[in-house]
Amino acid sequence: MVDYSCYLVTDSSLVHHSRNLVDTVQQAVDAGVTIVQLREKELETGAFIELARKLLEITKKANIPLLINDRVDVALAVDADGVHIGQDDMPLSIARRLLGNGKIIGVTAATIEEAKVAVENGADYIGIGACFGTSTKKLKKIPMGPRGVLEILEALPANAKAVTIGGINSSNAERVIRHSHGSDGRKLEGVAVVSDIVAAENVPEKVAELKQAIARGFINTVPASIYPDELKLKVAQVFDKLRATSPLVHHITNFVVMNDTANATLALGGSPIMAQNIEEVHELGKFVGSLLLNIGTLNNEFVTGMVGAGKAANKNRTPIILDPVGAGASSLRKSTMKLLTDSLDIGIVKGNAGEISCLAGTGEVEMRGVDSVGGTNDGASMVTRTSKLEKSVIAMTGVVDYVSDGHRTYSIHNGHEYLGKITGSGCMATTAIACYAADDLLVAAIAGLASMGVAAEYAAKRSDVNGPNTFKAALIDELHNLTAEKLLQSLKLQKC
């Protein structure tokens, strides 16, 4: 049985200056890569064969396969374990005739049709890609992202084996594998990695990181159901923990609400830091409790900072909360949301009905600027479907709020109409969620929305509130005045 889980693909041009390719492969094999593909596009035949022989000695000692990219002649010359061919390389039928049935043949596929044809023609596995953009190969097609990988995988026979390649690294491998868990139980066999290993300064350390991420991705447990009363107690507990620990919340957020979200964070008991420059986000990622990404006011610096901060957060196992403000209002916002959800392991996505509809790709709810036009007839169904699709907790705000992790779905019936009449209430709700995100993400999403809803109800009852403007100031006060007891008494939570 071939183990495709941690699949190394070589590229001599990317090898770290401190060693050569043979040493790199030796270190990677010793550290636990499970299969190696020798891909060298520029080598002459003689040099290619010599390099293949050296690598085959390493892989045979470790009892793992060595495949040759494209060059069936080289594979035959050294008696390699098989080949990997692309759509423009030697036809699979000819490669099989030359190599025989005892050798492994993998085929690259970028579409459902290409993958189906390869399986029908007897490919041992499919290399689906490119998942993300990559510097190691000039791409002919737009990267498909984890969702595109799953679409191809689910179109194949149940016994078909597949890996994905293209921009895979230790910060996104867990999400890619977890995202591949289909509705029928199938999943990727593994991920193929190039530069993250080959160019690494410390190969054993990098392989260890990758294998840990891959192992986490393969875990697909169904969480236990929690009844509303039990969940209310958990909300009260995480509230007390928030006040006791004051976690640092890293915001990359829009200019319109930056001051409001900082004040909301402080009022709830967290500690805000607003930083979007790529020069510092990696350093901050080492000690923040959560990362909030809000696409409300986009520019290139923001997007670069979001991706950089997100990768650092994924590396440090820091939860990311995404607010795709106005995602359906423009192609830029929609493409930025796709970039972030494809590239990063997002823990919680919070949005209104229009934004969540855009994320799901259903277009059920129209957007007008950053606001939804109308609502959805079945919010519970929408958040559940989207959560299963994105493998993230989905929190959807509206007259009734809905939260789901794809298995457990709840509705929250707190709030006040004034929340819809002030700028930034949705962004403050995302901030509230981020304050709790160091704990169970489903509980965090419910606690954040509950805090905003309950605080809004208390604020609206105050004698000094005469409209939206005075309500906004009172809302910050009541977030500060919240207690676990108030949440327990006022939270209106239902299981869907």
Query: Over the stretch 422-464, which tens digit does the pLDDT of each residue have?
Result: 999 999 999 999 999 977 999 999 999 999 999 999 999 999 9
Do residue 214 and residue 244 come from a single domain?
no
Query: Where among 167, 188, 218 does a domain terminate?
Result: 218
Q: Give the model's pLDDT for residue 372.
A: 45
Do residue 203 and residue 330 come from a single domain?
no
Q: Which two tokens stand for residue 60?
A: 């045979």
Do residue 232 and residue 349 come from a single domain?
yes
Task: Evaluate whether residue 137 is within a structural domain.
Answer: yes
Do residue 306 and residue 331 come from a single domain?
yes
Q: Which of 6, 131, 358, 427 is catalytic?
A: 427
- Strand, coil or helix: 294: strand
Do residue 248 and residue 329 come from a single domain?
yes
Residue 484 has pLDDT above 80, yes or no: yes
Q: Percent of the chain at pLDDT above 70?
A: 95
Q: Which two tokens stand for residue 78?
A: 């050294």
Task: Evaluate whether residue 376 is within a structural domain.
Answer: yes
- Cβ-based neighbours of 298, under 8 Å, separated by 6 or more: 332, 333, 336
Nearest to 381 by CA among 354, 417, 411, 413: 411
Do residue 320 and residue 299 come from a single domain?
yes
Indicate if 427 belongs to the active site.
yes
Residue 283 has pLDDT above 70, yes or no: yes
Instruction: Give the CATH number of the domain where residue 27 resides.
Output: 3.20.20.70
Task: Evaluate whether residue 223 is within a structural domain.
Answer: no
Do residue 267 and residue 174 come from a single domain?
no
Query: Where among 218, 237, 269 does a domain terminate?
Result: 218
Q: Give the model's pLDDT for residue 41.
A: 85
Q: What range does the domain containing 52 cover?
A: 6-218
The domain tally of the chain equals: 2
Do residue 35 and residue 53 come from a single domain?
yes
Task: Evaluate whether residue 344 is within a structural domain.
Answer: yes
Q: Give the model's pLDDT for residue 81.
A: 98
Task: Evaluate whether residue 448 is within a structural domain.
Answer: yes
Model confidence band, residue 361 (pLDDT cutoffs 50, 70, 90): confident
Comparing 251-260, 319-328, 353-362, the range with the smallest average pLDDT is 353-362
Task: Evaluate whether residue 1 is within a structural domain.
Answer: no
Q: At CA 145, angle to CA 85 and CA 446, rounded to 5?
A: 150
Query: Over the stretch 391-404, which tens digit does the pLDDT of each residue have?
Result: 999 999 999 999 99
Task: Evaluate whether residue 355 is within a structural domain.
Answer: yes
Model confidence band, residue 319 (pLDDT cutoffs 50, 70, 90): very high
Do residue 404 and residue 482 come from a single domain?
yes
Model confidence band, residue 367 (pLDDT cutoffs 50, 70, 90): very low
Do residue 170 and residue 287 come from a single domain?
no
Which of 44-58, 177-191, 216-230, 298-312 is the most confident on average?
Answer: 44-58
Compute the distance between CA of residue 158 and CA of residue 444 in angstroms, rounded to an integer.
36
Query: Where among 218, 242, 260 does a domain terminate?
Result: 218
CB–CB of 108/129 below 8 Å?
yes
Instruction: Give the CATH number of the domain where residue 434 resides.
Output: 3.40.1190.20
Do residue 204 and residue 245 come from a single domain?
no
Do residue 213 and residue 251 come from a single domain?
no
